[in-house]
Amino acid sequence: MEKKDLKSRILELSTELFAQVVRHRRHLHKNPELSYEEAQTASYVADRLDELGLAFTRGVGGHGLVAHIKGRNPDRALVALRADMDALPIHEENEVEYRSERPGIMHACGHDAHTASLLGVAGILSRITDAFEGTVRLIFQPSEERLPGGASLMIRDGVLQNPVPSAVVGQHVMPLIPAGKVGFRSGMYMASADELRLVFKGKGGHAAQPHQNIDPVMACAQTLVALQQVVSRHAHPATPSVLSFGRINSEGTYNVIPDEVEVLGTFRTLEEQWRYRAHELIRQVAEGTAAALGARCEVHINVGYPCLNNHPKLTDRLRKAACSYLGEENVMDLDLWMAAEDFAYYGQHTDACFYRLGTRNEEKGIIAPVHTPRFDIDEEALRIGSGLMSWLALQQLVFATESTEVL
């Protein structure tokens, strides 16, 4: 099939399957499951793959599934596409027909749209297996939202083996980009993310007798201020870094100084060597500042996802392919993003590209950011979600089999 005819066929199938993809997304949105609990979501995906007659493996990295769609000469090349499946512990406030039916759990990061789009890819590619050479591996990944991350667990279970794919491609919704557009960024894109837990220990007592106590609250306060020096005076000015604290727990009250204060926070950066140097500095500053006030500080650092870097040549190639599918006016360049993604693990093992699918529609009032109770997507974006991923996968297969640039 000629490239022009192939694009037309994918566009036709995207339109034909659009209502089905929307149904998938709405079912998943109504029935969200938290990280490491996606059993029913996995069963729903398995049933849909069964209906398409696709062979798949369950239980990869937890509740993950892996399916393969084989074209002509399936052993010539392999590309992998990834969608995550888990939801967040957020109570939905949207008044829509497909509102979450599970109080306190919500698809507030668009993973329902990712899974629905990849099911759409399965529907498209399974109908045109005679039109491409090679194999497309579909990765339905659990547990992106919580450490250690489903990507690392699926990789542990061999999702990138036998054989190693020439590339892994991931798509993620972006409420800052209008529906109908997509965004790419080559090279450094998303931050590492480490969880910090600081425990300040002193000697509690009556607040009117501070000289008899060792005040962990004051040790905590001065340490949090001092820790900002880690970023402002130790990080290279050209290296984005964020050190934030979001929770302080203390059992004291108006007239009671507690024995202990717990603080939770996050450290993020876009440079791995500096990341681990910053860990050392956080320990030194926290322990030293607390000690200067007679208290102790225990520093616990839970190392999270690494920095996400999009392979430059792959990303540039896929950006060109997206332009040929959507038109150059609908393909944007992305800024650095200090959020983190376990998709970064895939890029440590093979070429990887993580791009953004626009879902914003101001006229419809769909403007809420991810991880908020009113997050939603303009479902018109799903017309692009499945078709573009299918197109990108096949163009990567062309490159892998022929070593030629795509149009």
> Which one of 86, 341, 351, 379 is the catalytic residue?
86
- Compute φ and ψ for 229, nearest 5 degrees: -70, -25
Please give the Cα distance from 257 to 236 (Å, whole number).
39
* Residue 144 annotated in active site: yes
| pLDDT value, residue 88 | 98
Intervals of CATH 3.40.630.10 along the chain: 3-189+307-402
> Which one of 84, 112, 133, 144 is the catalytic residue?
144
Please give the Cα distance from 227 to 286 (Å, whole number).
7
Intervals of CATH 3.30.70.360 along the chain: 194-302
- How, if at all, do strands 352-360 and 296-302 pair? unpaired
| pLDDT value, residue 404 | 54
* Residue 329 annotated in active site: no
What is the full per-residue pLDDT of the chain (407 aa) written as tens digits?
A: 566 689 999 999 999 999 999 999 999 999 999 999 999 999 999 999 999 999 999 999 999 999 999 999 999 999 999 999 999 999 999 999 999 999 999 999 999 999 999 999 999 999 999 999 999 999 999 999 999 999 999 999 999 999 999 999 999 999 999 999 999 999 999 999 999 999 999 999 999 999 999 999 999 999 999 999 999 999 999 999 999 999 999 999 999 999 999 999 999 999 999 999 999 999 999 999 999 999 999 999 999 999 999 999 999 999 999 999 999 999 999 999 999 999 999 999 999 999 999 999 999 999 999 999 999 999 999 999 999 999 999 999 999 987 655 44
Distance of alpha carbon 224 from the chain centroid: 29
Which amino acid, 50?
Answer: D
Tokens of 394: 């096949």
| pLDDT value, residue 229 | 96
Give the global pTM.
0.93
Residue 133's CB is within 10 A of a number of other CB atoms, namely 18
> What is the Cα gyration radius of the chain?
24
| pLDDT value, residue 403 | 61
In this structure, CATH architecture of domain 194-302: 2-Layer Sandwich (3.30)
Give the bridge partners for 106, in sequence order.
Answer: 88
Contact 291, 223 (CB under 8 A): no
Q: What is the CATH number of domain 3-189+307-402?
A: 3.40.630.10
